[in-house]
Structure 1
Amino acid sequence: MTPPEAPLDGNASRREKPPAASSCLQVLKKRSDFLLAARARKQGVGSMMVQARKRREGETEQSDQIRVGFTCSKKVGNAVARNRAKRRMREVARALLPILGKPGWDYVLIGRAETTAARPFEDLKGDLKYALNKLHSPGPKRAAKSK
């Protein structure tokens, strides 16, 4: 079975448009973008930490895109372990962010030691769904102070 974005004749060089999942996600590469996300909303789940922030108007040339970054510290393990964890987070983000992410937002997924690489893939997806729902839900309403 071929993916829906594959050309009918099987020749990838004659494709009219890019694959569906990559068309709405853009990867964060600048350190400044990661630092801005670090100051925004955070939600920790079993397998990763998710940071999210809404970009300001005019901050980037494509304000309707979802941007995502991935990082793992050396606590996750050696380079092989860090890259495996990032590959798994990339795949989960590719599957869920086009559906559950909001245009104009930046997301940073941070891998956790031992759990990101070892957790079953469906549980990783569930963790990211939970984190996105919490990040996009309005916070608890504060009670008005009585005098």
Structure 2
Amino acid sequence: MTRRPDYLAANAGRRVPMPGFVLLVHPRGDGVATMRIGITVTKKVGNAVVRNRIKRRFRALSREILPDHGWPGADHVLIGREAALTSDYAGLREHLAKALTKSRNVAPGGNRSRPKR
């Protein structure tokens, strides 16, 4: 995903927080079964080198996990946290698979502690 409106639409989807990331899943409803991935890491996490390292880890995880556990026809957004850099790869893999499983049981827009803007 590269367009801001896609990320904003995904923000209204299902939200599953995990130690190294927050997963947002938003079914597009356009009849196309392709799964799309978006990755974002804020500047609060670190400098460009740190953010890019986290994004590379997430891209590798998504290539490995999404084909088996992802939602067909949905946008998946990973929002990186600082723990993603220090966590081992196997732990992140387990957390992503668990988050995708949990996302099927979370209500759309659920798990929000802050009001919508």
Instruction: Tell me the TM-score normalised to structure 1 length.
Output: 0.70
Q: Does 1:118 align with 2:91?
A: no
Task: Choose from 55, 63, 78 the match for 1:109.
Answer: 78
Q: 1:6 maps to what in 2?
A: none
Seq. identity, %:
38
Q: 2:61 maps to what in 1?
A: 92
Q: Does the CA-based 8 Å contact 2:14-2:106 persist in structure 1?
A: no
CA distance in 2, matches of 1:75, 1:49: 15
CA distance in 1, matches of 2:30, 2:62: 24
Q: Does the CA-based 8 Å contact 2:15-2:106 persist in structure 1?
A: no
Unpaired runs of 5+ in structure 1? 1-27, 140-147
Unpaired runs of 5+ in structure 2? 108-117
Q: Return structure 1 stretches of 4+ with deviation > 2 angstroms.
A: none
CA distance in 2, matches of 1:137, 1:40: 12
Aligned-partner SS, 2:30: coil
Q: 1:69 maps to what in 2?
A: 38
Q: 1:78 maps to what in 2?
A: 47
CA distance in 2, matches of 1:138, 1:117: 26
The two structures, once aligned, show a CA RMSD in angstroms of 1.2
Which amino acid in 1 is paired with 2:54?
A
The higher relative CO (CA closer than 8 Å, separation ≥ 6) is in 2
Q: CA deviation at 1:75?
A: 1.0
Specify the structure having the higher radius of gyration (Cα). Answer: 1
Figure out how many residues of one structure are paired with residues of the other and give that number: 107
CA distance in 2, matches of 1:103, 1:90: 18
Which amino acid in 1 is paired with 2:17?
G
Q: 1:143 maps to what in 2?
A: none
Q: 1:53 maps to what in 2?
A: 26
Aligned-partner SS, 2:44: helix
CA distance in 1, matches of 2:64, 2:74: 17
